[in-house]
């Protein structure tokens, strides 16, 4: 056991009073892709902010008093306690309100909750990360952790698919990730024509992105579903390869099936699942998926532990 | 909350005359308890605050069957001569509406607060064996997991429990199948068995003993003990409904695509009655209640139900978008996945969901139907480590094909 993601006493949420949120503020909003931004959230109490620890793949409940809570995975580097980045797509009324409020918005935060990516168990193994769209956000803490401890792992590969080139997240970091030893392959569903118009400084990091394959004037990269990238990957040692995936349910399903076909063990496949989240601590019943509570048994599950339920409609 | 858990057979037994039950209530009120017990309201026996034994449903009984509940006069003056009604004790320990938190806007920031309410110290009078089991089930949910619900905890720890052994059963009762009753064995402070002129009193905890010492009891006579035994035995004999729980977890989770779910969905109204009357159902939702200034917001937790269509709302859609999937969720959770989650069944066999279903759906019939004709099965590993190991999908022994993949 590597121990790089061990958190002895996750600070933040009181097990005796999980309903109490911490006061927090949106420090900064970084536009990412159309409709998606990363909110850097700072817990106001400095001591609580310093003690806050989370593991890659865990989530927080972000609270807008009067509107309600949303479950959002933490998308930052777990070795940095504050501020906490959350990459959020404007979807419902709470995320839309948060987008309107922007920098300086006073909010509440409960967390961290849930299970995490098995980064420690990846020591000595090859790791494939498969992300779809905003599904890269919950994987980013795992990427940071893997790269910070790079010598402990074998081949590291990110396969990332999005609907259009515009929807690829975190592209300005890809170069850095590649330099640190992560192979990055991208694909899109549609190579939109307007792509060349987006050669511009990234709003988050301010750097021009010309050197990146993903950001050349016209999309010359892969087109097709992300599982095609997985099928093409040459695996040196499939039984010693761990795959972790996050994205739409259908994408994760086909990813796991493809991985099984490539000879990966079912015990080395991990996915992050999503359901309606209300209490986040297993007390409200909303997020059940078969016998699992997504909030406390998940969101990260080992494939074989939920496999019988993946094919059941409307579960 | 009882500290001592022993089979009641080892408890010394005393006799309390019927009229002196008032003294029991008075002593509890003297000690600062709000006594909650059965009383007649809206044509049903419900649980509410009582101060006098005259408020008990004396001389009333209930007639129950699938989809039907009626009160009827007894030919005696029994205090507890009925079974269970639409209420359960969860409405006091896990209130239908409770404030879980609040937020106040101060200088452009939100100050988060925990409610400092001071709930009554409840003394529950008339808790049946199935209800003791239900309280234990909810204890597992709210107190024994990684996170504790402070609202439940505060009420539960202060509660004093006076159990009552059933001396009759309804056609909807099946506690014997769920091994929860009808005899009250643990989880109470005091337990009563009603006979003609009074009650046999058993002690279940130190707090119960302290109270019993202040009651005008006399040692039970042999005929009284025999009358109580006969009365309790009558309840056992009257229970006719059964639920075969053999391997029920794997039976139900292995039949998630059984055609019976669609059959029952044609009758089910998705009305949520079964979940509201169920003494163990714990689903809830938190709603935001802001005052007129918008600067003070209370977070109100309300009972919710897996039968509500928006219960599974996510990303612009509803996961369980038909009654078939919602009924399946309820039944499989109650009888199967509850074992994975909390180490016991979520059903205590009280029969409320059968009685209060407007169309008389009987979960024991649904399980029997699924057990009778296996459509297909997913072979699931046994419970010991069941969620730790790899299940495999296979056709069942009848040779029928597994259901088609929906992905």
Whether A64 is in a domain gets the answer: yes
Average pLDDT over residues B2-9: 45
A278 pLDDT more than 80: yes
Provide the 8-state DSSP code for A75: -
Q: Measured between CA atoms, how close is A138 to chain B, in angstroms?
A: 17
Q: What stretches of B141-267 adopt beta strand conformation (E)?
A: 160-164, 190-195, 198-203, 218-219
Residues 6+ apart with CB under 8 A from A172: A202, A204, A205, A207, A209, A212
Residue B101 CA to residue B91 CA, distance in Å, equals 19
Asked if the Cβ–Cβ distance from A293 to B341 is below 8 Å, we say yes
How confident is residue B206, by pLDDT bands cut at 50, 70 and 90?
Answer: very high
Contact assessment for residue B2 and residue B161, using Cβ atoms and an 8 Å cutoff: yes
Nearest to B321 among A13, A307, A314 (CB): A314
**Do the domain assignments include residue A30?**
yes
Both A138 and A216 in a single domain? yes
Nearest to B24 by CA among B157, B190, B187: B190
State yes or no: cis peptide before A299, omega within 30 of 0.
yes
Q: How far is CA A272 from CA A160, B3, B310, in A?
A: 15, 42, 22
Q: Which of B284, B312, B380 sits opposite A276 (nearest CB)?
A: B312
Domain count across chain B: 2
In 10 A of CB A190, how many CB atoms? 13
Q: Is A17:A99 a contact under the CB 8 Å cutoff? A: no
Task: Determine whether the interchain pair B141/A283 forms a contact, defined as Cβ–Cβ distance below 8 Å.
Answer: yes
Residue B405 has pLDDT above 50, yes or no: no
Number of residues written out for chain A: 315
Same domain, residue pair A162 and A189: yes
Judged by CB atoms closer than 8 Å, whether chains meet at A18 and B147 is answered as: yes
Shared-domain flag, residues B158 and B205:
yes
Task: Report how many helices (DSSP H) and strands (DSSP E) chain B contains, helices first.
Answer: 14, 18
Question: Are B262 and B220 members of one domain?
Answer: no
**Residue B1 domain-assigned (yes or no):** no
> Is residue A25 less than 8 Å (CB to CB) from chain B?
yes
A213-216 long-range Cβ contacts below 8 angstroms, 24+ apart = A213/A186, A214/A165, A214/A168, A214/A171, A214/A174, A214/A186, A215/A171
Q: Under a CB-based contact definition with an 8 Å cutoff, are residues B173 and B41 in contact? A: no
Shared domain for B287 and B177, answered yes or no, is no
Q: Which domain holds residue A57?
A: 22-113
- Give just the sign of the alpha carbon dihedral A17, A19, A25, A30: positive
| CA closest to A280 among chain B residues | B147
DSSP string of B341-391? HHSS-S-----HHHHT-TT---HHHHHHHHHHS----EE---STTTTTS--
Please state, in angstroms and rounded to a whole number, the distance separating the CA atoms of residues A139 and A299. 12
Q: Is residue B187 part of a domain?
A: yes
| A81 DSSP β-pair partners | none
- Inform me whether the pLDDT recorded for A291 exceeds 60: yes
- Whether residue A153 sits in one domain with residue A44: no
Query: Is there a single domain that holds both residue B176 and residue B64?
Result: yes
Inter-chain CB proximity B147 and A285 less than 8 Å: no
Pick from B141, B147, B105, B100: nearest CA to A20: B100
**Whether residues B213 and B335 fall in one domain:** no
| Structure-model confidence comparison of residues B128 and A203, the more confident one | B128
Q: What is the pLDDT of residue A191?
A: 84
Closest-CA distance, B399 to chain A, in angstroms, reads: 19
* 3-state DSSP assignment of residue B50: coil
Q: Which residue of B has its CA nearest to A268?
A: B390
Domain total in chain A: 2
* Cα–Cα distance, B287 to A68 (Å, whole number): 7
Residue B123 lies in a domain: yes
**High-pLDDT (> 70) share of chain B, %:** 88
Is some CB atom of chain B closer than 8 A to the CB atom of A283? Answer: yes
Same domain, B68 and B156: yes
CB-based contact B316 A91, cutoff 8 Å: yes
Q: Which of A60, A88, A113 is the last residue of a domain?
A: A113
Q: For residues A23 and A106, is the Cβ–Cβ distance under 8 A?
A: yes
For position B47, what pLDDT does the model report?
98
- Least Cα separation, residue B296 to chain A (angstroms): 9
B157 and B134 both lie in a single domain = yes
Q: How confident is the model at residue B117 (pLDDT cuts 50, 70, 90)?
A: confident
- Taking contacts as CB-CB distances below 8 angstroms, the residues of chain A near B337 are 288, 290-291
**Does position B11 have pLDDT exceeding 60, yes or no?**
no
CATH code of the domain covering residue A91: 2.40.30.10
Helix (H, G, I), strand (E, B) or coil at B156: helix
At A162-191, the pLDDT tens digits run: 999 889 999 999 999 999 999 999 999 988
CB A160 within 8 Å of CB A168: yes
The neighbour count for residue B299, using CB atoms within 10 Å, is 25
Kindly state the average pLDDT of the residues B69-93: 97
| Closest C-alpha to A272, from A155, A174, A132 | A132
My answer on whether B205 and B341 are in the same domain is no
pLDDT for position A198: 43
- Say yes or no for a CB contact (<8 Å) between B282 and A315: no
- Give domain status of residue A16, yes or no: no
Whether residue A106 is found in the same domain as residue A125: no
Together in a domain, B286 and B383:
yes
Q: Which residues of B312-327 are buried (b: 16+ CB within 10 A; e: fewer)?
A: bbeeeebbbebbbbbb
Which tokens sit at B78? 């029994």
Q: Kindly state whether residues A252 and A141 are assigned to the same domain.
A: yes
Tell me, yes or no, whether A39 and A180 share the same domain. Answer: no
- Choose the mutation target among B284, B390, B406 for the interface with A, i.e. most A CBs under 10 Å: B390
Mean pLDDT of B382-406: 38
Same domain as B288, residue B202: no
Chain B: closest CA distance from residue A93 (Å): 11
**Whole-angstrom distance, CA of residue A289 vs CA of residue A102:** 34
* One domain for residues A139 and A45: no
pLDDT bucket at B104, cuts 50 / 70 / 90:
very high
- Chain B residues with beta carbon closer than 8 angstroms to that of A312: 256-257, 406
| Same domain (yes/no): B230, B337 | no
Question: Tell me, what's the pLDDT at B316?
Answer: 74
What is the residue-averaged pLDDT of chain A?
A: 90
- Select from A93, A113, A133 the last residue of a domain: A113
A151 in a domain, yes or no?
yes
| Interaxial angle between packed helices B323-332 and B260-267, expressed in degrees from 0 to 180 and rounded to the nearest 10 | 110
Which of A133, A288, A305 to mutate against chain B (most B CBs within 10 Å)?
A288
Query: Domain for residue A280, yes or no?
Result: no
Indicate if A74 and A107 belong to the same structural domain: yes
Do A125 and A265 lie in one domain? The reply is yes
First-to-final CA distance of chain B: 49
pLDDT at A2 over 50: yes
What's residue B374's pLDDT?
A: 52
How far is residue B230's CA from residue B225's CA, in Å, rounded to a whole number?
Answer: 9
Residues listed for chain B: 407
The CA distances from residue B351 to A2, B69, B82, B252, in Å, are 52, 12, 13, 19
- Which chain A residues contact residue B314 at CB under 8 A? 274-276
> pLDDT, tens digit, for every residue of A221-244?
899 999 999 999 999 999 999 999
Closest partner CB to A291 (pick from B322, B341, B388): B341
Closest-CA distance, B363 to chain A, in angstroms, reads 19
Q: What would the two tokens of residue A64 be? A: 């807008």
Residues 6+ apart with CB under 8 A from B267: B359, B361
Distance from CA of B138 to the nearest CA of A (A): 10
Measured in degrees and rounded to the nearest 5, phi and psi for residue A25 equal -140, 145
**At A188, which CATH number?**
3.40.50.80
Q: Last residue of a domain, which of B210, B238, B266?
A: B238
The distance of A258 to chain B (nearest Cα, Å) reads 14
Residue B13 token pair: 């037994």
Domain identity same for B228 and B255? no
Nearest chain B CA: its distance from A124 CA (Å)? 23
CB-CB under 8 Å, B149 with A283: yes
Sheet holding A300-302, edge to edge: A222-223, A183-188, A156-162, A126-132, A241-246, A269-272, A300-302
Please answer whether residues A146 and A118 qualify as being in contact, where contact means their C-beta atoms are separated by less than 8 angstroms: no
Q: Does A270 touch chain B (CB under 8 A)?
A: no
B121-127 vs B160-164, strand pairing mode: parallel
Residue in the block written with tokens 């920031």: B109
Rounded to a whole number, what is the distance in Å from the CA of B75 to chain A's nearest CA? 44
Distance CA B329, CA B148 (A): 24
> What average pLDDT does the segment A306-315 reach?
93
Q: A132 with A63, same domain?
A: no
* Domain enclosing residue B223, as ranges: 8-238
DSSP string, A108-155: EEEEEES----TGGGTTSEEEEEEEGGGHHHHHHHHHHHHHTGGG-S-
- A68, A97, A113 — which closes off a domain? A113
| Partners of residue B321 in chain A, C-beta under 8 Å | 314
DSSP helix/strand/coil, A214: helix
Partners of residue B333 in chain A, C-beta under 8 Å: 285, 288
Specify if B281 maps to a domain.
yes
Residues A127-151, mean pLDDT to the nearest whole number: 98
Using a CB-CB cut-off of 8 Å, the residues of chain A touching B284 are: 278-279, 283-285
Cα gap A115→A7, rounded to integer Å: 12
- Write the CA distances from B363 to B42, B70, B283, B309, B375, integer angstroms: 26, 21, 19, 21, 18
Question: Is the pLDDT at B307 greater than 60, yes or no?
Answer: yes
Q: Binning pLDDT at 50, 70 and 90, where does residue A203 land?
A: low
**Do residues B379 and B390 touch, judged by C-beta distance below 8 A?**
no
Do A49 and A83 lie in one domain? The reply is: yes
DSSP character at residue A34: T
User: How much of chain A, in percent, has pLDDT values that exceed 90?
Assistant: 83
Q: Which H or E run contains B61?
A: strand B60-65
Separation CA B56–CA B190 (nearest Å): 18
A207 — contact with chain B (CB < 8 Å)? Answer: no
Q: Once rounded to an integer, what is the mean pLDDT over residues B377-390?
A: 44
**Greatest mean pLDDT range, B238-247, B365-374, B377-386:** B238-247
pLDDT in tens, A16-43: 999 999 999 999 999 999 999 999 999 9
Contact A230, A247 (CB under 8 A): no
Q: Residue B256: which of A288, A297, A315 has the nearest Cβ?
A: A315
pLDDT at B12: 60
Does one domain contain both A82 and A199?
no
Boundary residue ending a domain (B215, B238, B261)? B238
User: Can you list the positions of beta strands (E) in B74-212?
Assistant: 97-106, 109-113, 121-127, 160-164, 190-195, 198-203
Q: What is the mean pLDDT of chain B?
A: 90
User: What number is the average pLDDT over the span B158-168?
Assistant: 98
Tokens of B105: 């806007």
Residue A243 lies in a domain: yes
Q: Is residue A288 in a domain?
A: no
Residue A171 lies in a domain: yes
A284 neighbourhood in chain B, CB within 8 Å: 282-286, 304
Question: Nearest to residue B270, comparing CAs of B357, B367, B365?
Answer: B357
Distance CA A157, CA A162 (A): 17
For residue B243, tell me if it sits in a domain.
no
Instruction: Nearest by CB to A278, from B112, B142, B286: name it.
Output: B286
Cα within 13 Å of Cα(B1), Cβ side: 11
């Amino acid at each position: 056991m590597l121990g790089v993601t061990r958190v002895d006493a996750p600070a933040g949420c009181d097990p005796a009073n999980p309903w109490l949120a911490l006061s927090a503020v949106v420090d900064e909003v970084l536009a990412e892709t159309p409709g998606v931004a990363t909110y850097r959230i700072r817990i106001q109490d400095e001591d609580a902010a310093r003690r806050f620890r989370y593991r890659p793949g865990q989530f927080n409940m972000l609270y807008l008093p009067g509107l309600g809570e949303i479950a959002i995975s933490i998308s930052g580097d777990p070795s940095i306690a504050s501020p906490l980045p959350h990459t959020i797509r404007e979807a419902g009324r709470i995320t839309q309100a948060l987008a309107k409020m922007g920098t300086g918005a006073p909010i509440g935060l409960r967390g961290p909750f849930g299970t995490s990516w098995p980064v420690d168990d990846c020591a000595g193994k090859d790791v494939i990360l498969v992300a779809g769209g905003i599904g890269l956000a919950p994987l980013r803490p795992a990427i940071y952790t893997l790269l910070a401890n790079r010598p402990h792992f074998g081949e590291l590969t990110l396969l990332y698919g999005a609907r259009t080139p515009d929807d690829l997240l975190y592209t300005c970091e890809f170069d850095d990730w590649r330099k640190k030893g992560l192979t990055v392959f991208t694909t899109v569903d549609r190579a939109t024509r307007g792509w060349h118009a987006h050669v511009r400084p990234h709003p988050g990091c301010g750097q021009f992105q010309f050197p990146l394959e993903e950001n050349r004037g016209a999309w010359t990269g892969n087109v097709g579903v992300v599982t095609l990238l997985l099928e093409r990957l040459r695996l040196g040692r499939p039984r010693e390869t761990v795959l972790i995936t996050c994205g739409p349910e259908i994408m994760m399903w086909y990813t796991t099936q493809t991985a099984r076909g490539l000879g990966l063990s079912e015990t080395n496949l991990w996915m992050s699942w999503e359901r309606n989240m209300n209490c986040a601590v297993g007390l409200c019943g909303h997020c059940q998926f078969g016998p699992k509570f997504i909030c406390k048994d998940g969101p990260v599950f080992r494939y074989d532990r939920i496999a019988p339920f993946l094919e059941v409609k409307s579960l | 909350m009882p500290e001592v858990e022993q089979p009641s057979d080892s408890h010394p037994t005393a006799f309390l005359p019927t009229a002196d039950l008032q003294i029991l209530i008075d002593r509890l009120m003297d000690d600062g308890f709000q006594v909650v017990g059965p009383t007649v309201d809206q044509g049903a026996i419900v649980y509410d605050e009582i101060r006098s034994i005259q408020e008990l449903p004396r001389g009333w009984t209930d007639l129950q069957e699938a989809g039907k509940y009626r009160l009827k006069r007894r030919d005696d003056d029994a205090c507890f001569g009925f079974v269970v009604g639409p209420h359960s004790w969860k409405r006091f320990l896990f209130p239908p509406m409770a404030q879980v938190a609040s937020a106040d806007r101060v200088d452009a920031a939100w100050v988060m607060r925990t409610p400092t309410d001071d709930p009554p110290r409840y003394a529950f009078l008339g808790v049946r064996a199935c209800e003791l089991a239900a309280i234990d089930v909810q204890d597992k949910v709210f107190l024994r997991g990684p996170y504790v619900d402070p609202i439940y905890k505060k009420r539960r720890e202060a509660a004093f429990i006076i159990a009552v052994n059933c001396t009759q059963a309804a056609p909807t009762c099946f506690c014997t199948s769920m091994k929860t009753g009808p005899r009250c064995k643990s989880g109470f402070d005091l337990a009563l068995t009603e006979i003609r002129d009074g009650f046999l009193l058993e002690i279940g905890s130190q707090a119960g003993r302290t109270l019993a010492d202040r009651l005008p009891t006399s040692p039970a006579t042999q005929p009284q003990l025999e009358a109580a035994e006969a009365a309790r035995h009558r309840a056992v004999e009257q229970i006719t409904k059964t639920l075969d729980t053999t391997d029920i977890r794997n039976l139900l989770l292995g039949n998630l695509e059984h055609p019976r779910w669609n059959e029952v969905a044609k009758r089910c109204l998705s009305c949520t009655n079964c979940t509201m009357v169920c003494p163990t159902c714990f689903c809830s939702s938190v709603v935001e209640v802001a005052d007129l200034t918008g600067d003070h917001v209370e977070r109100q937790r309300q009972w919710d139900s897996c039968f509500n269509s928006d219960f599974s709302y996510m990303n612009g859609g509803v996961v369980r978008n038909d009654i078939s999937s919602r009924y399946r969720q309820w039944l499989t959770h109650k009888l199967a996945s509850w074992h994975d989650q909390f180490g016991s069944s979520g059903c205590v066999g009280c029969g409320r969901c059968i009685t209060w279903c407007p169309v008389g759906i009987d979960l024991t019939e649904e399980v029997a139907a699924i057990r009778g004709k296996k459509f297909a099965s997913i072979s699931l590993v046994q419970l010991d480590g069941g969620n730790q190991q790899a299940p495999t999908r296979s056709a069942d022994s009848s040779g029928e094909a597994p259901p088609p993949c929906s992905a």
